[in-house]
Amino acid sequence: MQVQWFPGHMAKALRLVKEQLKTVDIVIEVCDARAPISSRNNELSSILNNKKRVIAFNKSSLADDTVTQQWESYLNNCEELFVFTDALTHKGVKTLSNILINKISANMRYNRAVKAMVVGLPNVGKSMLINSLTQSSGAKTGNRPGVTRGNQWIRINSELHLLDTPGVLMPKIESEEDAFNLAAIGCVKDTIFDKYAACKEIIQFLKLKYPHLLKARYKLENIDKPDDELISDIALKRGFILKGGEIDLNRCTDIIYDEFKNGVIGKISLQSPHII
């Protein structure tokens, strides 16, 4: 599938990130633990250049635990600082705070708060992660891309200040795999791609990687069918019928997409380190 979404405010946000970079000590790059490669923005990486950073793979409670362990083993052999976090359950949040305060402040010349910039794609949970650190609602949050529109400083405590930035996609999504992954985890608005086509790809993926979750969630006995038929089967089981007996595919599509994106179907990972 093809996805392109780079509105004007994202180009502006990229410029602001570049301008503010010199004011911070470290960058927190927030990614989605379900798609650790697709949810990293190469455009941001080139801007950050050699700036010290820690990668927070957020929403880890939605990811396949086995695959997450594989990622942790792989990343332990890399030089980058990383932590798997979940803003809703507070998993890894204390570890992230300790990395920021202990590892950075130890190398600082003056006794002052560590200043960190939070960057990442839309809807990877940047503001929610900040809220988890602050235990307050200082930053706007919402499970849809593009909620934070302007840079805002948040004082976590006397030792740590964070700069929240708007979510920024890459100007061009090169691969169809990345396009699907970003659509499936909600990093792009669902109004800019064919949601029915995306749901067919979701069904294909589940049949291949997580057939037990597909069967269990939608009470399907036989999934050895074309994707269109399976979507129709799900619609019938959920009672999504229009007047006249026609299947309400739009409603079924919305349900499948939302349940996949929000982890209702089960713990799922779209990428493993084996693809590297």
% the chain with pLDDT above 90: 61
- The CA distance from 61 to 192, in Å, is 27
**Which H or E run contains 54?**
strand 53-58
Domain end among 126, 143, 164:
164
Tell me: do 44 and 122 sit in the same domain.
yes
CA angle 36/27/86 to nearest 5° reads 45
55 shares a domain with 116: yes
Q: Are residues 154 and 201 in the same domain?
A: no
Residue 149 phi/psi, 5-degree rounding, is -110, -15
Tell me what the pLDDT averaged over the chain comes to: 88
Question: Cα–Cα distance between 33 and 21 in angstroms, integer?
Answer: 25
Point out which residues pair with 115 in neighbouring strands. Answer: 161
pLDDT > 50? residue 175: yes
Residue 83 is encoded by which pair of tokens? 């932590």
Helix (H) or strand (E) holding 216: helix 211-218
What tokens were used for 70?
């594989």
Report long-range pairs for 13-19 (Cβ below 8 Å, ≥24 apart). Answer: 13/151, 13/165, 13/166, 13/167, 13/168, 14/43, 14/44, 14/47, 14/168, 16/151, 16/165, 17/44, 17/47, 17/117, 17/119, 17/165, 17/168, 18/47
pLDDT of residue 155 exceeding 60, the answer is yes
pTM: 0.89
Q: Do both 144 and 228 map to the same domain?
A: no
| pLDDT (average), residues 193-208 | 97
Structure tokens, 217: 């969630």
pLDDT at 146: 47
Would residue 188 count as lying in a domain? no
Domain assignment present for 101: yes
Q: State the burial class of residue 17 (Cβ atoms within 10 Å of its Cβ: 0-12, 13-18, 19+).
A: buried
Determine the Cα–Cα distance for residues 163 and 119; give it in Å rounded to an integer.
Answer: 9
Residue 11 reports pLDDT greater than 80: no
Provide the CATH number for the domain around residue 127. Answer: 3.40.50.300
**Domain check: are 19 and 105 in the same one?**
yes
Query: Can you give the pLDDT at residue 143?
Result: 52
CATH number at residue 228: 1.10.1580.10
The residue-averaged pLDDT of 210-216 equals 99
- Per-residue pLDDT, 110: 64
Domain total of the chain: 2
pLDDT of 227 over the 70 cut: yes
Please report the pLDDT score of residue 16 as a whole number.
84
Q: Are residues 89 and 214 in the same domain?
A: no
| 45 or 181, greater pLDDT | 181
Tokens of 47: 């801007």
**Is pLDDT above 50 for 204?**
yes
148 pLDDT exceeds 60? Answer: no
Tokens of 156: 């976590």
Separation CA 125–CA 132 (nearest Å): 10
- With pLDDT > 70 as the criterion, what percentage of the chain qualifies? 88
- Tokens for 112, please give them: 């002052």
User: For residue 121, which amino acid is it?
Assistant: L
Which domain range does residue 271 map to?
194-275
Minimum mean pLDDT among 50-64, 113-127, 167-181: which range? 167-181
Among 248, 120, 119, 133, residue whose Cα is nearest residue 185: 120
Point out the domain boundary residue: 164, 183, 214.
164
Residue 169 belongs to some domain of the structure: no
